[in-house]
Every structure is written in C-alpha cells, then in structure tokens.
C-alpha cells in the first residue's frame, strides 16, 4: 500500500461531529467529481438552507445520473455545535485496481473511482478541522466525514448526523420499517412512496428506490466501525426527503449517540445506482470496496460451504435407533448425513451448553453430559465434516478469549453468534472484537440476531455470513415467508451482503396447503423454488435445513450436493422486486442457474449469451407438471445448448428452477 493510500484510508476512518455550517464569505464555485464512465456526478456546494435539520449557510451535495438529478441539494453535517467553516483545500484522486475475493459472488473485483476531498476549517475558536470525502464509482456514490487528529478537538460527542438524502422527485421504494432502533433487521420490505416516510419513521437499510423514468437506487452504509448504525427518517416539510438517524447506545444519554477521539471517521454513506434492479445485485461488491483490505495474513484455513443443521427440524428424525434431541447420537446422525451429502459443516445449535441461574447466562465453557461436544467434533473429523457451535453473544462478550481458545482446543471450526439485536456504537465494537478474536483461533463466524452487513467480511473473511433477514425459520410460527418475500429480499437485504436465510426445506406446500408447525416444518412454494435459493441467495456459508430423512431418496438433493457457495462471476438475467428473479453464477467453467417467482405462474425465455463459445449440457431441476398442486413435484431433464440459444422455463405458482450448465464434454459426476 502506498503512503498516499495509507493517508486516504486513515482520513476515511474518522469524521464525527460538526454542525457543518459554512460562512457565505467562504463561498466558492460548486465542486464536482464524476465516475470513471461519466454517468454519475456528485456536486459539492455552499448554500443557504433553513430546514430544521440543516440551518444556516451549509454544505450541500447533489447527485446526477446521466445528466438527470437523482438527489437535489442535500445537507451535510455532524451536529456538535461548531462555528462557520472555511474551505481551506481540495484534493482530487483517481484509483483503478482489481482485487481478488475468494469468499464472494465475484472473484476479481473491480475497484475504480474518482475522489474529491474538501478540507474545512472552523473560522472562529477553537478552530476545528474536518474533511468531506466523496468517491464516485461507476456503480454508485459514497461519501464520509473525517476528523483529523487535532488539539482543538481531541475528544468529541456526537448528538446527530445531519446528512440528508433529498430526492429530486417522489419515488417508489421498498422499505423495511421496523419502527425502532436496535432490531434484528427481520421483516418484510414493503412498497412505499418516499413521501409517505414520516419524520418519526425508523427505516432499516438497505432502502431500495426506483426514480420515476430513471435509475434504481439503494441507500446503504459501508465500513461501520466504532460508530452507530444508520437508519432513515423523513424530513419535516420535505415531500420526498430523507435524513440520517443513528442508533443510540442503551444506557447513554440521548445526545451521546457517538463518542470518540480524533482521528475518527464516519462510515461511508452509499448510494448504489444502476439502470435495473438486477444490476444492483451484480454490483453489490461496492460495499466491500469501501472497506479496508483483508487484515489476515493467512486465509487458507477459511472454508466456505454448506452445513447440516439440527434446529430447523427440532432435531427430528425418523426410523432411528436413538431418541432424537439435543444429544450426541442426534448430532452424529446429522454428521453422517453431511458426510454422505458432501456438506462441509455441521452446525450444533442452541442447547449444547448448560443454562445458568439467570436468563441468557449459559455456561459457554461447558457442555451438557448428553451433548459431548469434543466427541461430536472428533466424530465429524473422522467423517470429514467440520463442526460449528452456537453461542449467545451476552456471555460470550464476557468470556470471549477464554471461550474461543477452548473451542479451538476442542477442534471446532466456527461459531454462530446470536441475539445481539442492536447496532449502536457499543454493539458495533463487539462485532469487530468478535471476528478479530475468532480469526486468532481460526474460527469462522455466522452472526444471527444481527444488523445488516456493511462489508466487514472483506477485512475479516472468516465472517462468512449473517442473518439480518426474515428467514425461513419464521415458517415455524407464521405464514410470513411467502414466495413474494423470497423474491423481494434479493433486491433489498441482499444488496448489503450475504444472508443466512437457511433454505433447503423439502416439505413443500403449494398455495393454500401450507400449515404452521414447529416439528417437521413446511415451506411455501415448490421444491424447485427452494433449490433455486442456493443460487439466487448469496451466502458463503449456507444451511441445508431439513432433517436427514426428509432428503432420503428425494429428487433435488443432487443439486444441493453439487452447488458451490462462492463464485467467480454473477449475472442477473431478469427480475423485478416482489415478482420474480433469475440469477446465474459461475464457478470455474460451470454456470449455475436459479429462477424464482412469487405466487404468479410465469414463463421465462432466458438468453444464454453469457455462456461463451462451445456447447454446454444443462441439467435442469424444474417444477413438475403438477407442481401447482403437489409442490414437491420436480422434473429433472438434460439438454444441449450454446450461447445462441434461449432457455425456456415455466415456473409454477410459487415455483422456480435450478440448473447446472457445464461444457458438454465434461463428466457431470466429476
């Protein structure tokens, strides 16, 4: 890394505090910076603004896409009461590089941007300094605030961040409105007009927006480090304007949302922008680009893969010679299934460690006699299956070093950390400490009860996945996991990064036939719909959720056994939020296809020009002719195709299709 890059990274890691007012005497011509392809432009300017959240003469920015306004003049600022600021310097930089990601949806990641840094100085005492840093990529726009180390402000307390997103026109959106801070980020992303978002709304990220007659825009944040998570609310008097809202830390005063010392930086505020919603999915590596490179010298021990999992089916089993439950024989039974099905992992979920006297006070340094964890792990090693352990974050936060050292000694390969349900500054610090400490002990991490991803997995790729999504578990107690939800979250939640949705249900229910039940739970939609999730949903670690007997002699398991979990390339062939989606992903020279629809049956004609030269054989796992009634009905066919052909698919209501496209001369059993 060059010294210039080091200075830029440092200057990006810091801002947190002014009411960013600027004296009219400091007014200059607007400063602009455009993307390498010229389609996106950010303009910084100083102007008068009298809205409640942006008083006085202030710094603003606007965003244009192909010459048309996406964001009108929108305020910038950090509220910790400062005086007028003067622009004292500007700096421009361009960057054009590619980096390798072995743990994502695209192996060779382009990282191209143009950057503008505007340095500001408080005119009156104490004379504090601040930078505004704008980066414009072909894939979107990002900016952050930076506070350099300075005597005038060694420490700071931030009350609000006054960043605004003032759209140039009203627009339709898909929003997750949990109605409160500190959530598990699990709910439906529902259609809403920007003008309907109220000032007291607390909208989770990502927010997906479709500008009228214009591009699709996703609002996110990246590199959330030692700061509070961002939400969105409306602006009083602003018809289609949004403002940043930060998650407060429990136990702190309301005006102490972020506390720190300089140097410090805010997370990146990100607008991914593309002509189609599918392009946003293809470009979600932008969040990774905005995070520091990998901090681990050796990543060879980190293994993506699929996991057998006891929790979804309640440790249920049929025709076995032991009593199913959270016990050693049941866990070995799942390991046998994992080994036979070529799954890399077995996840031992909650219940293996003794409960304490108080609620959520498990003794995470011990295991119950009936769940011999070292024996289970040793058995997994004999079978070539790695074992991960569930753990509650609360006791883990108090015994992290000791617990992770013990799990490493036992031979565990990872942990599933649960129940955080917060993204305030304190909890964000826990996430960073957890992945760092886990890496020291060669443990992979899966966060549940989690906030949305912000790209930490680039710096610590042992963070394989996280929940932060209303996943299939909700089917055990509700009817909320519908095919419509299934085809909405790729365009919303998944834009932030991998999601542990836990697919793989083989007890499939056609419309009107779904029943809520905790034991032998069902899924809505067809079996092909479930298989397609292994391609459509991004997750380097993915569950195979049903109990072993549910897969015995059942069509479709073959696809789960073969499908990878990390990719060399990703393309979205078509799709619309809440309606349908088709994704193809490449691993080496083989392409994998996943198509899903809502409750509407659908016929798709898919161009195959992504294949390149040569003849390919397609093994297709599609809805059977009676899948509208018998959702488990699956038709498996093979055919020869080339790049000039089109693939015709019929998706049943709640249906889907999954496919493997490999060179025709290849042996499909290799």
Condensed to tens digits (0 to 9), the pLDDT of residues 380-404 reads 999 999 999 999 999 999 999 999 9
The reply to whether 327 and 231 lie within a common domain is: no
Integer Rg of the chain from CA? 25
Residue 83 confidence (pLDDT): 58
50: confidence class by pLDDT, cuts 50, 70, 90: very low
CA distance 580 to 187: 19
Residue 383 lies in a domain: yes
**Which residue of the set 418, 423, 549, 623 is catalytic?**
418
The domain spanning residue 217 has which CATH number?
2.70.98.10
Helix, strand, coil tally for the chain in percent (to 5):
20, 35, 45
Q: Which whole-number Å values give the CA distances from 125 to 25, 121, 150, in the listed order?
A: 17, 10, 13
Domain stops at, among 289, 320, 349? 289
Residue 48 confidence (pLDDT): 57
Residue 487 lies in a domain: yes
Q: Which whole-number Å values give the CA distances from 184 to 244, 337, 390, 436, 466, in the listed order?
A: 19, 31, 17, 22, 11
Question: Could you tell me whether strands 203-210 and 216-222 are parallel, antiparallel, or unpaired per DSSP bridges?
Answer: antiparallel
Residue 227 confidence (pLDDT): 98
The reply to whether 538 and 434 lie within a common domain is: yes
- Segment 319-345 mean pLDDT: 94
Report whether 40 contacts 54 (CB < 8 A): no
The reply to whether 533 and 600 lie within a common domain is: no
pLDDT, mean over the chain? 92
* pLDDT tens figures, 81-96: 455 677 889 999 999 9
Residue 295 lies in a domain: no
Closest to 505 in 3D by CA, of 482, 474, 526: 526
pLDDT at 277 over 60: yes
Instruction: Give the domain range for residue 653.
Output: 582-663
359: confidence class by pLDDT, cuts 50, 70, 90: confident
- How remote is the C-alpha of 181 from its chain's centroid? 18
CA distance 454 to 221: 6
The reply to whether 395 and 428 lie within a common domain is: yes
The reply to whether 30 and 99 lie within a common domain is: yes
666 in catalytic set: no
CA distance 159 to 253: 10
Alpha helices in 235-372 (DSSP H): 277-282, 286-289, 328-340
The reply to whether 491 and 608 lie within a common domain is: no
418 in catalytic set: yes
The reply to whether 281 and 339 lie within a common domain is: no
Residue 420 lies in a domain: yes
* pLDDT tens figures, 547-574: 999 999 999 999 999 999 999 999 999 9
Residue identified by tokens 């490449």 is 586
The reply to whether 606 and 545 lie within a common domain is: no
* pLDDT tens figures, 520-556: 999 999 999 999 999 999 999 999 999 999 999 999 9
pLDDT at 664 over 50: yes
**Which residue of the set 310, 392, 473, 500 is catalytic?**
473
The reply to whether 434 and 520 lie within a common domain is: yes
The reply to whether 483 and 348 lie within a common domain is: yes
Residue 459 lies in a domain: yes
Helices 373-383/400-410 angle, 10° precision: 50
Residue 421 lies in a domain: yes
25: confidence class by pLDDT, cuts 50, 70, 90: very low
The reply to whether 384 and 455 lie within a common domain is: yes
- Segment 413-426 mean pLDDT: 98
Considering only 18-27, 98-107, 471-480, 587-596, which range has the smallest mean pLDDT? Answer: 18-27
Residue 590 lies in a domain: yes
- Segment 188-216 mean pLDDT: 97
Residue 86 confidence (pLDDT): 77
The reply to whether 534 and 654 lie within a common domain is: no
Cα 594-618-486 angle, rounded to 5 deg: 10
* pLDDT tens figures, 222-234: 999 999 999 999 9
* pLDDT tens figures, 253-274: 988 999 999 999 999 999 999 9
Secondary structure (DSSP) of 24-79: GGG----EEEE-TTSSEEEEEEEEE--BTTB-SEEEEEEEEETTEEEEEEEE--EE
Residue 320 confidence (pLDDT): 84
The domain spanning residue 624 has which CATH number?
2.60.40.1180
Residue 28 confidence (pLDDT): 55
- Segment 613-624 mean pLDDT: 97
Region of residue 547 (left: phi > 0; alpha: psi -120 to 50; beta: else): beta
Domain stops at, among 566, 594, 616? 566
Q: How many domains does the chain have?
A: 3
241: confidence class by pLDDT, cuts 50, 70, 90: very high
Residue 526 lies in a domain: yes
CA distance 421 to 368: 27
7: confidence class by pLDDT, cuts 50, 70, 90: very low
pLDDT at 670 over 90: no
The domain spanning residue 357 has which CATH number?
3.20.20.70
């Amino acid at each position: 890394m060059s010294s210039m890059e080091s200075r830029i990274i440092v200057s990006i890691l810091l801002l947190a505090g002014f009411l960013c007012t600027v004296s009219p005497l400091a007014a200059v011509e607007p400063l602009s910076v455009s993307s390498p392809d010229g389609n996106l432009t950010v303009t910084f300017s100083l102007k008068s603004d009298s809205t409640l959240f942006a008083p006085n003469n202030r710094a603003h920015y606007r965003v244009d896409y192909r010459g048309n306004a996406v964001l009108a003049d929108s305020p910038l600022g950090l509220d910790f009461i400062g005086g007028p600021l003067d622009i004292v310097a500007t700096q421009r930089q361009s960057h054009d590089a590619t980096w390798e990601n072995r743990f994502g949806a695209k192996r060779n990641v382009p990282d191209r941007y143009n950057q503008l840094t505007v340095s500001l100085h408080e005119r009156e005492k104490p004379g504090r300094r601040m930078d505004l840093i704008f980066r414009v990529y072909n894939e979107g726009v990002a900016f952050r605030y930076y506070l350099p180390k300075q005597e005038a402000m060694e420490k700071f307390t931030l009350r609000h961040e006054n960043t605004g997103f003032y759209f140039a026109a009203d627009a339709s959106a898909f929003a997750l409105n949990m109605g409160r801070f500190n959530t598990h980020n699990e709910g439906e992303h529902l259609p809403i007009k920007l003008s309907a978002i109220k000032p007291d709304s607390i909208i989770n990220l990502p927010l997906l927006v479709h500008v009228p007659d214009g591009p699709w825009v996703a609002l996110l944040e990246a590199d959330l480090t030692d700061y509070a998570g961002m939400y969105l609310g409306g602006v009083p008097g602003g018809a289609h304007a949004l403002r940043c809202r930060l998650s407060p830390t429990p136990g702190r005063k309301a005006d102490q949302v972020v506390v720190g010392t300089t140097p410090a930086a805010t997370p990146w505020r990100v607008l991914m922008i593309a002509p189609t919603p599918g392009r946003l999915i293809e470009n979600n590596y932008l969040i990774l680009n905005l995070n520091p490179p990998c901090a681990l010298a050796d990543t060879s021990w980190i293994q993506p893969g699929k996991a057998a999992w006891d929790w979804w089916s309640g440790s249920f089993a049929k025709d076995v010679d032991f009593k199913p439950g959270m016990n050693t024989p049941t866990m070995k039974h799942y390991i046998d299934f994992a080994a036979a099905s070529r799954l890399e992992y077995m996840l031992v979920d909650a219940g293996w460690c003794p409960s304490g006297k108080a609620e959520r006070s498990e003794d995470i340094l011990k295991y119950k006699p009936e769940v011999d964890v070292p024996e289970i792990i040793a058995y997994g090693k004999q079978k070539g299956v790695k074992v991960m352990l569930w753990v509650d974050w609360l006791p883990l936060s108090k015994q992290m070093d000791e617990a992770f050292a013990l799990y490493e000694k036992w031979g565990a390969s990872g942990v599933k950390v649960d129940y955080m349900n917060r993204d305030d500054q304190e909890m964000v610090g826990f996430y960073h400490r957890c992945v760092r400490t886990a890496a020291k002990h060669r443990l992979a991490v899966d966060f549940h009860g989690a906030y949305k991803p912000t790209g930490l997995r680039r710096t610590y790729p042992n963070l394989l996945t996280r929940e932060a999504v209303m996943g299939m578990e909700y089917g055990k107690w509700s009817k909320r996991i519908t095919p419509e939800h299934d085809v909405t979250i790729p365009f919303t939640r998944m834009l932030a990064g991998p999601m542990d949705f836990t697919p793989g249900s083989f007890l499939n229910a056609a419309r009107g036939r779904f029943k809520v039940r905790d034991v032998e739970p069902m899924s809505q939609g067809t079996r092909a719909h479930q298989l397609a999730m292994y391609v459509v949903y991004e997750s380097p670690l993915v569950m195979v959720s049903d109990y072993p007997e549910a897969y015995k002699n059942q069509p479709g398991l073959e696809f789960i056994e073969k499908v990878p979990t990390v990719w060399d390339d990703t393309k979205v062939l078509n799709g619309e939020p809440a309606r349908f989606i088709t994704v193809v992903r490449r691993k080496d020279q083989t392409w994998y296809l996943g198509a899903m629809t809502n409750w509407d049956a659908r016929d798709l004609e898919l161009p195959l020009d992504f294949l390149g030269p040569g003849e390919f054989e397609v093994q297709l796992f599609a809805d059977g002719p009676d899948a509208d009634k018998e959702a488990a009905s699956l038709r498996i066919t093979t055919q020869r195709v080339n790049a000039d052909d089109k693939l015709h698919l019929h998706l049943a209501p709640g249906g889907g299709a999954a496919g493997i496209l490999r060179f025709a001369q290849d042996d499909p059993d290799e």
